[in-house]
Structures are given as structure tokens and as C-alpha cells.
Structure 1
């Protein structure tokens, strides 16, 4: 089914308010989720809502919880999310870091113990829109691991995303590189599973360590399978680096089993925000940025149907298309959202109006 972004936004905000979120928080979370769908990242979009409702019901996710400052050491800011909505706490922590950079030139910011941050590229975009550079490392704890180490068969990590963002120029959009350190995000396996699809490549391991392209190994059976890390041994090192940078520097901890697991998606994030004008002029940076992107694009693409795209451009193209055509949700994913709303006391007619 295709749903317009505006109609989807209004309904999802109603679900969140029924779940206990105040209006402003519901708006922040909804805008983040719908933006993820618009930009082609359905894994981090409105399909997460049923999980959030369940986390709130279990008392392991806390609505209406702002970010809390633990330490302010000038260029170093340490926050905790206290299990609040990550879309809110992440935004608030990034706003503080962006403001701090105005006086310090660089800011190391950590955010610990916040529920699902959502699409990490959102925070890179915040920095880029402010004319800043940002680097983000994220780990996941509070739930069982889902990504196997390189050469391993049992999971030992979350998907541990990394994001790097550079500001836009008059001629080029922002560079926003945002990727999970697993071959696919868990949410993408959820979307494929609910749609009854398989992947083109064997991006997962079943519970016996056998490679597979069938997402049901992540969602069916007593023993869950595992996602593969990206880039073989290099990805195996990168996923562990993200685990340590996010889990250790934030104080939120890693996914190792001595730390408590209550079953929510809890993230820690270590972020570096840089004002590039503290080192080079913005005019020179923009000129060099444009020249480098032109140079990259000048390489001949063997397949004309697969042009060279800069990080961030696929999201822009998706957003244009989905604003025009609507956001696609599988019937199964939509049904889970409807069931979550009904469980909160919403009238089924509220969903029928936009389906």
C-alpha cells in the first residue's frame, strides 16, 4: 500500500500520543521515522512503532524523558538518555554539541543509555546543515546480539552504525555516509520478512552458521540466526571499533553478557562535531569539496543504469520520489502498526481513513 507522508505522519503521531508521549515528543519521533521512510530507509521508519509500543508497555522505554547532562568539560559533553526516545534525546544532544562548537571549534559528545536513536544519518544531517562536519559511532546493548564476528557463527554485536557528514555547498548536497557495520540492518530483514521476500545475496547465517539469503532465520525459530559483518576482516575490525568507541567512551557499556539485557533497543553514541573554519576557510573547503566530487563523478560508469552517486544522494532521490508517489508499506507491516494502535485504544477507523 502507498500512503502519503502527511497522512502517515498524522496517524503515527496519534499512535505515539496514545502510547504516552507528549505532543512535542510525538512530533519529533514521528518526523524522524517518516523522514527515514521518505529517504528509503524503511528499516528505521514507522515500522519501528509496534516495537516502541511494546517497549513502553514493558516499562523498558520511557516516554517524555529529555536528554540529561552528566558532564560539561568545555569541548566535551557527556549525556544520558535515561531510556527515553532516542529520536528526541539524540536531537537534543546534537543541538547542544552544535551550539558548543560555536565557541570551542570542536566538540566530543557522548550519549549513553538512550532507546533507539533511529537513523543515525539524521544527526549527521543536523551538523551538515549547520555548516559542520560530524563523525558518529553507535553501539547497541540491552538486547541479545544479532551480528556475528568475522569468521564466527554466533552473534556478538549489534549492527553498530557509523556516520560521517560534511556540509553542502551551492553546487552539491551534503555528504552523509551512514551505514550499519553489518551487511544489512536488522530492520531491513524485518521489512523483507514481512513482505515475504529474500535477499539477492547470502547476508545472514542460520542458527547452525550456514549462509542464507532468507530473512526468516532472524524472525522464526527458537534460536535466532546472525547477520554478517561488512567487508570481511576489515568490517570485523570496524564493528568492534564502533562497539568500543560508543560503548566505552560513553560509559553506557558494551553488549558483552555481564551487562543487563532487558530486551529494548538501547544505544550509546560517541560523536565528534567539528567546525571546519577553525582550520581552513569555508570558501576553500567548499571549492575543494566541489572539485573532489566532480573528479569522482568523472569516472566512467560501465553500466549507465547505475551512475556514480555520492553518499546522501540516494536518500535525496528517494525523498523526491516518495513525496510524489507515497510511502510503500507491506500489508503485514501496516497490520502490525494498526494492531499496536488498537492495543492502545485507538479506533480502527482512524487507520482505515488513510489505508
Structure 2
């Protein structure tokens, strides 16, 4: 099924309103999810909507949070999200970072007591719109085993770096630090397809292509999949995200990050509160004139785009390019949704008494 952007946006906003979110928060939360679907990151879009609802029903998401700064210097801040939607808390935090950067050159904000914040790219791109370099990262439910382990201690822990350019679109490096995001396993589950080898291991630490492996004690693997292919590097990147997002902010970290799924209870006596994020913004003109930087960014992009390739039918892809192409197409032709997601969304509509898709 393909759904028009405006229809899906209205539907999503109505679900958040039914949860008790303010109009401002419902509009923002829907925008974050729709941005993911438009950019082709289906694992983090409206397919996640029922997960937020279930957590709200369990009183683990506060639909009307009092988001506030609890510690601050001129260029840094720590924010308590009051268990609000990460879709709302993270943009609030990024705006604080941008405001500090506008005044002092850079701004850095850690967040505790939040929830899943959608795609990291949404938040980092807020800075690009102000001629700033944006950073966004978050820790997540422990599904990933560190190198040489079969114990889930880290999340998929995505990170995003966003760089403005001139005549070309910004360069957006948005990625999980695991071999694959959990949402890709969920997509494979809904479509009944196996996952590539190297994404996940079973409870004994052996490779498997079963997308349901996590349900039987398996774990996702760090970026690199195994030691011989650099999984220690993925582990290191994930650890960096966890420390900046969780340890620095006072959020949960490692195995104490609360699960996104409602049927699993949060860890007992965690060392911190909720999910943590880390966001930053740096003014380009704090280093050099903006126009000169953008011109050189365009040169950088052009040089990589014309790189010689092994296969003439394949070209070097600039980070963020596939998502931009997906967005251009989906704004015109609509957003494709698999049957399982449509069913899920229509069940939500029936629950809240609103029009379905």
C-alpha cells in the first residue's frame, strides 16, 4: 500500500494527539517520523508508532513532559526529558545547542530521561539549516554484543554528522554502530525474509540469518561483524555513543538502557534515567567564512562523485544521497507501507477511534 505524505502525516499526528500530546508536540513528533519514511528509512518511521503507544500505555512515556535544563554552562547543557517522547525531547535539545552555538561558536547538549528519538539525521540536519555542522547520537536498548561476547550490552547506538554544502545537498553521515539496525530485522520479519550473514548471532554466538534470532537469546553484532573484519571498531564507536549519551548525561547506559518494547520491564536499580542522547552544533564561520567552506564542500563532493569505479554501472554514493533521492520520489509518489505495518496502524486507529488508512 502506498500512502500520500499528507494523509500519513495527519494520521500520525492524530495518534499522538490521542495519546495526550499537545498540538505542538504531536506535530513535531509526526514530522520526525515522516522524515524517516520520506527518506526511505522505513525502520524508524510510522512502523514504530505502535511501539510508542504501547510504552505510553505502560506509563513509560510521558505525553506532556516538562523538558528542562538541569545543568548548564555557556556552551554546554544537560537536559532532563521528563520521560517524554524522544521525538520531541531531542529537537528541544538540539535547539539549545544551536542557540548556544549562535552565541558562542558551538553548543553541546546531553540528554537523560528520554525515549527513542527517531532518526539521528533529523536532529543533526537542524544545525545544517543554520550553516552549522550538526552532531546527533543516542544510546538504545541493549541488543548488541561487544566483540568476543554473546551478551547484549549495547544498543545499535546510531550517530549522525551533518555538513552543509553550497550548490549540492548537505553531506549526512547517519548510521548505526551495529552491523545493522534492529529495525532492519523487523522489516525482514514482516516480509518473511532472512537477513544477511554477519548481522546477528544466535545465543551461542554463531552466525545466523534468522531475523527472529533476538527472540531466542541471540544478539546483533557490532559494525564489522567479527574481529577479523573490524568489529572492535564498531564496538569502540558504539561505546563512544553510549558514554556521551548515557554516562555523561546521567541516563541509563550499557545493559541498563530501558527496552523500547513494552512487554519487557526496565532494568531494576539502573545507574541513570531513561535513554540518553548527545547533540551538538558548531558554527562553520567559527573556523572560516561560510561561503569558502561551502565552495570547498562542493569541490569535495564533485571529486568523490567522479571517482573511478570498479563497475561502470556503479558510482560512488555521497553520504545522504540515497535518502535524498528517496525523499524526492516519495513526496511525489507516496510512501510505501508493507501490509503488516498498515494492519498495525489501522489497529491503532480503531483503538483511538480515529479514521484509518
TM-score, normalised by the number of residues in structure 2: 0.90
1:132 to partner: Cα distance: 0.2
**2:144·2:156 contact (CA, 8 Å) conserved in 1?**
yes
The equivalences for 1:310-329 within 5 A come to: 310-329=318-337
Determine the C-alpha separation between the residues in 2 that align with 1:274 and 1:70: 22
Deviations 1:185-236 (A, max 9, x none): 1112112211212223331112232211221213x4xx33211110222112
1:66 to partner: Cα distance: 4.4
Determine the C-alpha separation between the residues in 1 that align with 2:2 and 2:205: 37
Mean Cα deviation higher: 22-31 or 261-270? 261-270
- Find the counterpart in structure 2 of residue 9 from structure 1: 9
Gaps of 5+ in 2: 225-230, 260-264, 268-272
Q: Do structure 1's residue 282 and structure 2's residue 278 form an aligned pair? A: no
Mean Cα deviation higher: 29-38 or 150-159? 150-159
Gaps of 5+ in 1: none
1:260 to partner: Cα distance: 7.0
- Stretches of 4+ moved more than 3 A in 1? 259-266
- Find the counterpart in structure 2 of residue 26 from structure 1: 26
Give RMSD over aligned pairs.
Answer: 1.9
Q: Secondary structure at the match of 2:148?
A: coil
1:341 to partner: Cα distance: 2.8
Deviations 1:313-350 (A, max 9, x none): 11100111112222111111211122223223x15xx2
Deviations 1:59-81 (A, max 9, x none): 01000214211122111111111
Determine the C-alpha separation between the residues in 1 that align with 2:22 and 2:135: 31
**2:67·2:81 contact (CA, 8 Å) conserved in 1?**
yes
Distance 1:278 1:126, change over 3 A: same
**1:116·1:266 contact (CA, 8 Å) conserved in 2?**
no
- Find the counterpart in structure 2 of residue 193 from structure 1: 189
**1:129·1:168 contact (CA, 8 Å) conserved in 2?**
no
- Find the counterpart in structure 1 of residue 270 from structure 2: none
Count of residues in correspondence between the two structures:
341
Determine the C-alpha separation between the residues in 1 that align with 2:314 and 2:151: 35
Determine the C-alpha separation between the residues in 2 that align with 1:19 and 1:269: 23
Deviations 1:155-203 (A, max 9, x none): 111111111111131x211111111101111112112211212223331
